[in-house]
Structure 1
Amino acid sequence: MYYGEKRVEEPIRWGMVGGGKGSQIGYIHRSAALRDNNFQLVAGAFDIDPARGKTFGESLHVAPERCYPDYKTMFAEEAKRPDGIQAVSIATPNSMHYEVCKAALEAGLHVVCEKPLCFTSAEANDLIRLAEEKKRVVGVTYGYSGHQLIQQARQMIKHGDLGEIRIINMSFAFGGYNVKIEETNPAAKWRFDPKKAGPSFALGDVGTHPLFIIEAMMPDLQIDNLMCTKRAFVEGRELEDNAFVIMNLKGSEHIQAGAQVYCWASSINSGARHYHKIRVVGSKASLEWDDERPNQMLYEVEGEPSRVLERGAGYLYDEARVEDRIGGGHAEGLFEAWSNLYARFAVAMADADKGVYGDFWYPDVKAGAQGIKWIEKCVESAEHGAAWVDYD
């Protein structure tokens, strides 16, 4: 169990690009980063409007002279300071992710970036190269993977509790965009603009979340091929609001050759708040996790009564309890999950500064690149009439 003790010697001096007033995601970044005193918010370029960004930054107790008009100015000015930022979080529309992440790495900064990391595999590979060259950490905020029971599932699969994995059924299909909400909601408008959102909406915005969760559960997962069909049901949208993907997997130590994955990614599942679920079916047993009930996980062994595993319980694997914050029985949620990820990012950054790289998982630059490749392959399949495409 975690009691709030320090995980890094000194808080990492940290800035933000985006995440200003009205941002859908800025607050959870700040809450997660500051929760355990692993980061200290000292600078920011919070808004495309410099005056509004400065006012907002001051409301967060950031010094006025460190509330910058844009990220380029922030990187340049902070580099001159002995107490300049060491890391930056990127919470902007998708179209800026690659340029800001690249500039941050070139400035010698660690990065936490919203997904998608960028728009193309070429850009993703460029960021991987830069991160390795500069020896910097890039974390991607697949926030749901910070829930404790994802770690429990990872350990159960690793230890063979489910047998060989045969089938995975995953969905992230909410209903909030079942009408043309972007006409009245500025925060939603850019998500359907290919110039700002990239080549996909439903696949990139929500589909990559369950994709990374199953990668976290099964680190040896490798996609062999896939097929995808997608469309925009709401008239006038340039990007899809619904998609279905079927994947075949390569065999590995824990995954049966030819294992199959089904993914439903949607924003028009009327009435559904999230419908973000993962079901993993093995040769002996199955697991099912629902992000709207993240403190429980269904565990079903063939021929035995179904059981519900509870977060924080003593029967879980040690790895699933190490990030427990308030003991079993109390409900934890998305803020705790994000805090767990930001704590992992902080440890990885501090270790990288010492030249130490251990066997320590977190959503890294390669995980971000995998999401981009998956989107590209899905789009390629859909544009060729839902044809099967090889993944490699």
Structure 2
Amino acid sequence: MFNEEIKLQEPLRLGMVGGGRGSQIGYSHRNAAQRDGLFQLTAGAFDLNPKRCKEFGSNIGIDPERCYDNYQDLFKLEAQRSDGIQAVSIATPNSTHYEICKAALLSGLHVICEKPITFTTEEAKELKEIAINHNRAIGVMYGYTGYQMIHQAKEMVQRGDLGKIRVVNMQFAHGFNNEELEKDNPSLKWRVTPEVSGPTFVIGDIGTHAFYLCEMITDLKLKRLSCMRQSFIENRAPLEDNAHVMMEFHGGAVGTLWASAVNSGSMHQQKIRIVGEKASIEWWDEQPNQLRYEVQGEPARILERGMDYLYQTIEAIASNRIGGGHPEGYFESWSNLYHRFALVFNAINNDDIETANSIWYPDVNAGINGVKLCEKCVESSNNQSSWVNF
């Protein structure tokens, strides 16, 4: 079970860019960061409006003098303090991720960034090189990978419980944008504005979540893909609000990905089903404490979080915060990731590279592949859904 006694000599001092008043993502980052006492939020540039930034920061307990007008001042002035920030969470629109990540790394900060981390693979690889050269780490917020049952699924695949993997069906298909709500909602408008959102809408926003679950659980490497995109709300073009992707992996496995914001009536419908030669598993983020396990010729089983019959790996145990039967959810998953981010950042700060390398977390390579998925899907769909190499 989760070990609450794991503490650092002192919490890592954290800054935040974006995520101000009314931001669900900002609140999620702050909640997860401070849950286990491994981070302490001490500064931020929460809002483009300096007055709102100071007011909001003060209301959540930040010294007004450390609520900065912009991220440039945040990084520069914090670097001049003996108690300056050591890491930063970036919770801003997509178009700003690259420049803020780059500035943070060059300022000697570890980074936790929303995805996609950049618009292009080249930019993402550049960030990786900067991070390596400055001995810093980049964590990417694939927040659904902190659930215990995701780590159980990964272990079942690795141990051969399913046999050789044949098919992976991925989907994240909600219905919350089945109408043109962004017309009267500026906070939604940026997501369907190419200059801010990037080359995709639902593929980058939610499809990359489902794809990373596949990568993490199966360790399959994507060989090529074919993508079909639609803009059912015509004003969203050229960005898609629905997409279907066919995938072929190295080794012979195949997969499909359905990403949609117009699946009317659906809440999330983020599911992943992994089919092997002997058995299949299926996980649904609306019921994250259960993993469906189906062996051919046997009754289907529902594996429950927190039970002794699960594989007791370090990752799974560390992700289990309370006994079985009690529901865990979104905030626990995020907190599990922030817990790992803190341990990695602290190990690097202490030149303990062996420990840093031994801890699993969604790293810059996960970010690079998410960006590449968006690029390749656009390339394919713009060429009559032709197959493109990944």
Once residues 147 and 185 of structure 2 are traced to their aligned partners in structure 1, the CA distance between those partners, rounded to angstroms, is 30
Once residues 168 and 46 of structure 1 are traced to their aligned partners in structure 2, the CA distance between those partners, rounded to angstroms, is 39
| Native 8 Å contact 2:164 2:276 kept in 1 | yes
Within 5 Å, which residues of 2 pair with 1:80-159? 80-159=80-159
CA apart distance, 1:210? 0.7
Partner of 2:245: 245
In structure 2, the residue corresponding to 1:4 is in which secondary structure? Answer: coil
Partner of 2:278: 284
Partner of 2:38: 38
Partner of 1:266: 260
* Bigger mean CA offset, 318-327 vs 258-267: 318-327
Which of 319, 325, 330 aligns to 1:329? It is 325
| 1:186-210 deviation per Cα after TM superposition (whole angstroms, max 9, x unaligned) | 2110000000000000100000001
Amino acid at match of 1:373: K
Amino acid at match of 1:298: R
Once residues 232 and 387 of structure 1 are traced to their aligned partners in structure 2, the CA distance between those partners, rounded to angstroms, is 19
Amino acid at match of 2:193: D
Once residues 382 and 120 of structure 1 are traced to their aligned partners in structure 2, the CA distance between those partners, rounded to angstroms, is 17
Alignment pair present for 1:53 and 2:53:
yes
Once residues 153 and 30 of structure 1 are traced to their aligned partners in structure 2, the CA distance between those partners, rounded to angstroms, is 28
| Native 8 Å contact 1:108 1:134 kept in 2 | yes
CA apart distance, 1:296? 0.4
Which of 334, 346, 349 aligns to 1:350? It is 346
Once residues 186 and 321 of structure 2 are traced to their aligned partners in structure 1, the CA distance between those partners, rounded to angstroms, is 36
CA apart distance, 1:322? 2.8
| Native 8 Å contact 1:7 1:347 kept in 2 | no
CA apart distance, 1:25? 0.6
Which of 291, 301, 309 aligns to 2:295? It is 301
TM-score (norm 1): 0.97
Partner of 1:338: 334
Once residues 324 and 7 of structure 1 are traced to their aligned partners in structure 2, the CA distance between those partners, rounded to angstroms, is 17
Amino acid at match of 1:312: G
Once residues 270 and 28 of structure 1 are traced to their aligned partners in structure 2, the CA distance between those partners, rounded to angstroms, is 26
Alignment pair present for 1:234 and 2:228:
no
Amino acid at match of 1:390: N
Once residues 317 and 358 of structure 1 are traced to their aligned partners in structure 2, the CA distance between those partners, rounded to angstroms, is 22
| 1:100-123 deviation per Cα after TM superposition (whole angstroms, max 9, x unaligned) | 000000000000000010100110
Once residues 8 and 201 of structure 1 are traced to their aligned partners in structure 2, the CA distance between those partners, rounded to angstroms, is 39
In structure 1, the residue corresponding to 2:101 is in which secondary structure? Answer: helix
CA apart distance, 1:231? 1.4
Amino acid at match of 2:335: S
| Native 8 Å contact 1:7 1:343 kept in 2 | no
Once residues 280 and 172 of structure 1 are traced to their aligned partners in structure 2, the CA distance between those partners, rounded to angstroms, is 15
Within 5 Å, which residues of 2 pair with 1:181-192? 181-192=181-192
Partner of 2:29: 29
Amino acid at match of 1:266: S
* Bigger mean CA offset, 1-10 vs 263-272: 1-10
CA apart distance, 1:354? 1.8
Partner of 1:255: none
Once residues 192 and 34 of structure 1 are traced to their aligned partners in structure 2, the CA distance between those partners, rounded to angstroms, is 32
CA apart distance, 1:7? 3.8
The structure 1 segments of at least 4 consecutive aligned residues displaced by more than 6 Å after TM superposition are: none
Which of 305, 312, 315 aligns to 1:311? It is 305
In structure 1, the residue corresponding to 2:234 is in which secondary structure? Answer: coil
| Native 8 Å contact 2:118 2:371 kept in 1 | yes
Partner of 1:254: none
CA apart distance, 1:69? 0.4
What RMSD over aligned residues (CA atoms) do the two structures have, in Å?
Answer: 0.8
Once residues 2 and 204 of structure 1 are traced to their aligned partners in structure 2, the CA distance between those partners, rounded to angstroms, is 32
| Native 8 Å contact 1:278 1:289 kept in 2 | yes
In structure 1, the residue corresponding to 2:235 is in which secondary structure? Answer: coil
| Native 8 Å contact 1:137 1:349 kept in 2 | yes
Once residues 261 and 61 of structure 2 are traced to their aligned partners in structure 1, the CA distance between those partners, rounded to angstroms, is 36
TM-score (norm 2): 0.97
Amino acid at match of 2:309: Y
